[in-house]
Structure 1
Amino acid sequence: MKTKLMMLSIVTLGLFLGGCTSNSNSLPKESSAVSNSTSNSNTSTSNAKKAVPAIKLTVTEVISAYEKAYPNTSITSIDLDTSFGAYYFEVQGVDDNKEYELKINAETGEETKEREENLDIDEKNGVKKAEDSLELNDIITLEDATAFASEALGVNPETATDWSLDREMTVTYWEVTFESGRSESSVKLDAKTGDVLEKELEE
């Protein structure tokens, strides 16, 4: 009798432990389902975001690339905007007699020499060089220019679409353009101090 009771107790204990094991094994499956759901949700959110072409090069790197391609010249402008879905830097420069242009992929660094042509007679012998050469020492970065400009307009810095480094009179300036819907706005900043020089709003 005692033997039968003992065997019955062992069987009952085994069934109980088996049930507990089964329950504990079901938890990871539920947890996995939640994890997959969260993962899918994150993927959907990520896919919903607008894809923005990468800008990996700094302005300093772009300046160095231009100076290597065209030594003994001066940079007169740097523009950054999109072309066929990718961002490109377009750098223009001069020496005493010629004008040059270098196009650089902002993500890959691939360079293309766009043009090299003679200056007009009234621009030669250093005239254009003296009038248009940028002062590139200690200029603020592209990121800082974007931050200052967006703050001046009260807009999201992520809506910036175009950047230009140029010169007016004796001042080298950044111009940053923002687009939101059909409206466009831009800010000109002193390239050394970040001070706002001009704001322009277009509806």
Structure 2
Amino acid sequence: MKSKVIFTGLFSLLLLAGCQPNQTTTPSSTTNQSSETTVTSTNKSEDSSTSAGSTDSSSSQTANPDIQVSADRAIELFQNKYPDAAITSLELDSDWGSYFYKIEGVDDQNEYSVKINAMDEKLEAENPEQLDRDEQNGKKKSEDGLDVSNLISIEEAGKIAVEKVGAGTATDWDLDKELGTTYWDVKVKNGNQTTNVKINSQTGEVLSSEIDD
């Protein structure tokens, strides 16, 4: 009888000991899963931040904080002052230390030139000059007048030019005409190299590119 009691007691102890490890490992598994979830969430957050940073960096290559006046607005200011004149030349550069538009135009009798601050729209006009007799009565106006309708923006022209070159920064924009086609001539600087890219001012088509010597 004593042997049966002892055997039953030992069997109970072994059964109890076998159950204890399973009770202690369950919280550990839950903790590991929680840690893995936290790490994954953190990594996703870091990836999102990196992606946002990359987007900001890309857009900063085409945006210029020193140019707050669009080409369309500069043209409008010129036309408000000289409503009968056709624009024959438009330049945007920083030769004076800040970005300015220089716009020239003609009517039937005179030639006009203005300088417009690209930050605050301040306009400075030079004294009109009378056209030569063979340029009057609409001849120069017809021959040299630019098509300023539906222009792509200087930002878009700069982006197209930089993509054509492969790298660099757009620094100067000239609006000109050749064989009846009005185009943007964009200067792109990449290190010590300067490239001029001609772009159709209405369609955005690249017409030519040439590296300055």
Please give the TM-score of this superposition, normalised by the length of structure 2.
Answer: 0.67
Q: Choose from 71, 84, 88 the match for 1:76.
A: 88
One-letter code aligned to 2:79: E
One-letter code aligned to 2:184: W
Deviates more, 1:173-182 or 1:98-107: 173-182
Partner of 2:199: 189
CA distance in 1, matches of 2:65, 2:129: 31
Q: 1:137 to 1:88 in 2, by over 3 A?
A: same
Identity of aligned residues (%): 41
State the 4+ residue runs in structure 1 displaced beyond 2 angstroms: none
CA distance in 2, matches of 1:115, 1:163: 25
Partner of 2:208: 198
More strand by share: 1
Structure label with greater radius of gyration? 2
Superposed counterparts of 1:111-122, under 5 Å: 111-122=123-134
CA distance in 2, matches of 1:118, 1:155: 44
Q: Is the 8 A contact 2:161 2:188 kept in 1?
A: no
CA distance in 2, matches of 1:105, 1:78: 13
Q: Choose from 101, 114, 122 the match for 1:110.
A: 122
Q: Choose from 159, 165, 178 the match for 2:175.
A: 165
Q: Structure 1, residues 97-121: CA drift from partner, whole Å, max 9, x if none? A: 1110110000111110024101112
Please give the TM-score of this superposition, normalised by the length of structure 1.
Answer: 0.70
Q: Choose from 122, 133, 136 the match for 1:124.
A: 136
How far off its partner does 1:180 sit? 2.8
Q: Structure 1, residues 7-31: CA drift from partner, whole Å, max 9, x if none? A: xxxxxxxxxxxxxxxxxxxxxxxxx
Structure 1 gap segments, 5+ residues each: 1-51
How far off its partner does 1:182 sit? 2.6
Q: Is the 8 A contact 1:53 1:86 kept in 2?
A: no
Partner of 2:3: none
Q: 1:115 to 1:161 in 2, by over 3 A?
A: farther
Q: Secondary structure at the match of 2:99?
A: strand
How far off its partner does 1:53 sit? 6.3
Structure 2 gap segments, 5+ residues each: 1-63
Q: Is the 8 A contact 1:74 1:129 kept in 2?
A: yes
Partner of 1:176: 186
Q: Is the 8 A contact 1:81 1:89 kept in 2?
A: yes
Q: Is the 8 A contact 1:53 1:85 kept in 2?
A: no
